[in-house]
Structures are given as C-alpha cells and as structure tokens.
Chain A
C-alpha cells in the first residue's frame, strides 16, 4: 500500500466518523493551545522583567540592610534587618573612588492633601542622584536638590497623576502640599508614563531622604542605590562598599550588595521556572488527550471489527492494519495539535493586544515541544488499539454483523 493510499484511506475513515474525529481534534487542540498560551504568557512576563531591568543600566549596585546568610542562591530581596543602614553610611559611600552616584532610598506610604483633596501615595525619600540613576524625566520645575541630604529641606517632586488629582487644572509648581503631618513645597513634576520595575512613577511623591526618615520615624534606609563609574570595576566597587560598611559597623558584615545583573538573573530564573511549571501543567492536558485518543481508537476498533476482518480476508497483513490505525491516530493528533497551535497563537495575540507593554509570544521551544508531544502521545496511545486490530481473528471478525 503506498503512502498516498494510506493517507487517502485515513482521511476517508476520519470523514466517515466525523463526530469522533471532532471530539479527538478538540481534545488535542485544547491541550496544545493551553501549552502555547501559558508559555507565551510566562515568556512574556520574563522578557518584560528583563527589559525593565536593562532599562535601569547595568553598572548599578544595590546595598540592602541585612546579611544574606546563605552563600549562593538568590539574594534576599526582603531581608531581615539586624543593624540599620543609615544615611551616614550612604553618604560615606560617595567617597569611594569607583562610585559616581549614590541615592539613599527610604519608602513609605503617607496621606497627601491639598485643601479638601487627599489620598494615599507612595513616598520615596531620596537624593538628587536618584533622578540620574533611575533616568527620570521632569516635565516642569526641577528635581530634588540636596547639597546636604541630612538637611530636612521641605520640598517635593510629584508624579503626573498625583498632580492631576491634587491640583486639577490649577498650577502645582510652588504650591504647598501636606504630607502626613508635614508640609512641603512642590518644586517639580515628573513626566508621565515612566516606570521603574513595573511600578508607575505617576503616583509617587519624591522628598529629600531625611524628610522621609523623619516622617516615618526610621533610622534605617530601605536601600542605597550606587552607580559605579564603570561596569568593569563593579566587583572592586562592591568590595569597597562592603569594606566601608564593615569599618562603620564594628567589623560586622551586615549588609548585602547585589549587582543589577544578579537581580535580573534571579528574576529570570524564577520566571523561567514558572514558565516551565505552567507548561508542565498544560502538558497534562496533552496526556489526557492522549488517553482519550486511545479510548476512542479502541472503540473504533470494536466498531469496525467487520471492516478489519474484511481487510484481512482480502489480503492485508497484520502490519498493514497496524499502519492504517496508527496513521489515523497520528493524523488526528497532528491535526488537533496544529489547530491548537493556531488557537494558542491567536489567544496569545489577543493577550498581547490587551497588555501591549508585555511582549507576549510563545517561544519556539514550547511550540515544537507541544507539537512533538502531541504526535508522540497520538502514536503511543494509538499503538495498543492498532495492535488489537491487527491481532483480530478474521473469522470471528467477519461472523459478527
């Protein structure tokens, strides 16, 4: 029997039992579509984070209070704080030769109000260097100017959304803003649509770091951002930072310094693992489809017993019957898989329209793996029914009407 005849026979059989064909196609399509869509989403998230990080520049070091006890493994993003990382520590870092900029950061939430309008916003206490490190645009006025960050200068820079909500169409620059129990004058307004690590800069208020520490009644900084002069001297700079802190903290290594790259690598690893995990869960749908194919092919063998008997009577050897039934299972699973692939790509496209910022798209490995697994399950689960068909006794097969 030639390959063309096998294909023609298979297609006729699939057409002849179209309900069963549609059922199996659907099962396979769902499995493959799930894999394609979920990996597209996972991969999109991973690439989104990678893009966000690389936008921050690569010679950035982050100093966190607290020591990471484990060697190796991901650096702690939220560590315990045994000893304070103070503003004085941060200022001392600026004297290291390899350091260009230092931005101490203190975070907290506070209520802002102007007249009767008020709302809760994220307060970021920092210094003038923050603007350059985070590459922020100013649309009006200027950024924080802190010749001496220790001085509690009552000024602030507000995000575009905060400006809109607090001042409406009125001019904001030079106006006074109530921040918790303090007041500060608006000296600058950030440009719109700026993000840092996915957090919108539209809804924050930036104040001098000493003001933030006083507002939140804290000694310790949330972290210190350090920009090295060059990427090559990153490790040296990191060691220098650790030395400075150690000498200031009575010989204790109680801060963690991580490079931007390391954070990125960690996120990358986490999100990659997540993508594999969802792909794995979606693959279960494929396995279920495989079992369904086996079940339906077994029913097909029972339904078509007389036909199999006839094929044997007119001279089909056992392996030809195996081939015909395997070809049916393989064709079904493959067409279902291709259908699912297209559905999955369409779903990914719809998601990409809904979230234009996130680069959603199924990676080639996931598509190939899904198609491969679909074909493999189809053939694998098709073997048992095909062998059963090939082993039927022709006399008994034909005696049943």
Chain B
C-alpha cells in the first residue's frame, strides 16, 4: 500500500545540506504493524513525517495506494491526510479550549461532515477508548494517558487506513503507556496499518515488523 523508492530528505542549515534520511526503499502493506527504532537523530521522525505527507521528500518517489503523492498540490495532499492518515503525537496536540468530544470531532468538522453524523461517530469512538464519561471535559481536566487516548480517537475518527504514532508513549508512565499501546494494537487488529516510532525496545518487540534506522538509512528490517 505504501511504496517508497529512493526517498531522501535534506535540510539546509546555513549553506550546509543535512541528509536526515538517505535513499530509502520501503514497502508497507495494508494492515501491517511496524515499529521504527534507532538512535536519536537517526531520521525516524523525518521518515514518519514523509510517510504522513506532513513533509515532502527532496528526492525519490512515494506511491500511496498506487498514487504518486509527490506530485500532488498542497490542497490535494491535505485531502489525502484527511481521509487516509491518522496522526498520534508524543505531545498529544489537543486544542486546549475544546472538549474531548470536540477535539475528536475536529477532523470531521474540517471535512464538513454534518453534526448529527459527527455526534454518532464520536460517541462510538469515545466508547472504544473507554472515555464516554469524559466527553465534555477539556484537555487540562484529563490525565496524560486520557489525553493520548483522546488523540488516538481523533486519529481514527475518519477511518484512516494508516495510523502514524511518533513516540506515543514518550510522555506517559508505563501503565498508561501500556493502555495506549493496547488501543493502538486493537485498531491494528481491525485492519488499520500501524506505524510506531519508539525508543523503547520492549514496545518495539511487540510489533510484527521491526525496522531499525541508523544515520538516515535502514540498517535492518526484521519481519516475524
């Protein structure tokens, strides 16, 4: 479903070009559970951002469901992100003034989906993350683990085919980290492709496929 061919991403710092990822070839199929690991600064986040269309590669081709997405305009890319990709971030990134339910509904609101349909879907998703009673709480009234669950609910509300999580447990204690991971894995069991960037070998070991990146290149790609 995802096919990267010769993907590189260079950053210009002053007049010096830094290659965050170099010439990456990678194929990911629908429904896979992949952990991306590697030392700090090796390019894991950059790779994830390129896959999530938040960032554009400086070289290479990227086919998403057989469509070359490197050629798309900003508006078309936004459209693809909206319908196919869900993001979960280390720092949750919830809108502080909106309630949990409103945060979860935000992608649907942006997409122009009518309120009745939104409410129905949000109730459903809230139930699946076990936060039905917290629907009308604002983020500052929730614990870290609850916030991350709300963020996951937001990532899934549009029924994406891929969920990209960059250190989703990085800001959580191990107990809430386990809960969050469990929810992500449940989504994966329903057929959504799951990509998790992590430092934690224990978490990495739970994935069926483990990719290790060093210095912007794939060092190993182990499939169980």
Contacts and interface: CB of A to CB of B under 8 A. Distances in A.
Interface string A303-327: 0001101111111111110000000
A135 interface: no
Interface of A: 1-2, 5, 9, 12-13, 15-16, 306-307, 309-320, 394-395, 398, 401
Interface of B: 49, 52, 54-55, 74-75, 78-79, 81-83, 87, 89, 91, 93, 95-98, 102, 106-107, 109-112, 114, 154, 158
Q: Among the interface residues B78, B87, B154, which one has the most CB atoms of the partner chain A within 10 A?
A: B78
B87 to A, nearest CB: 5
A261 B106 CA distance: 67
Contacts of A309: 93
Interface residue SS majority, chain A: helix
10 contacts: A2-B112, A2-B114, A313-B87, A314-B110, A315-B82, A315-B83, A315-B107, A315-B111, A318-B78, A320-B78
Given A1-B110, A315-B111, A15 B97 contact: yes
B79 A317 contact: yes
- Across the A-B interface, give the 8 residue pairs with the lowest CB-CB distance, nearest first: A315-B82, A16-B97, A317-B78, A317-B75, A314-B107, A310-B93, A315-B81, A394-B54
A47 B74 CA distance: 58
Given A1-B110, A5-B112, A316-B82, 9 more contacts: A310-B93, A311-B106, A311-B110, A312-B54, A314-B154, A315-B110, A317-B78, A394-B55, A398-B89
A314 B106 contact: yes
Nearest to B90: A401
Contacts of B81: 312-315
B82 to A, nearest CB: 3
Contact of A1 (B54, B79, B87, B109): B109
Contacts of B109: 1, 5, 9
A304 to B, nearest CB: 9
Contacts of B111: 1, 315
A47 B106 CA distance: 56
A189 to B, nearest CB: 74
A311 B154 CA distance: 12
Contacts of A319: 75
Contact of A315 (B79, B93, B95, B98): B79
Contacts of B158: 315
B110 A12 contact: no
A58 B218 CA distance: 98
Nearest to B76: A317
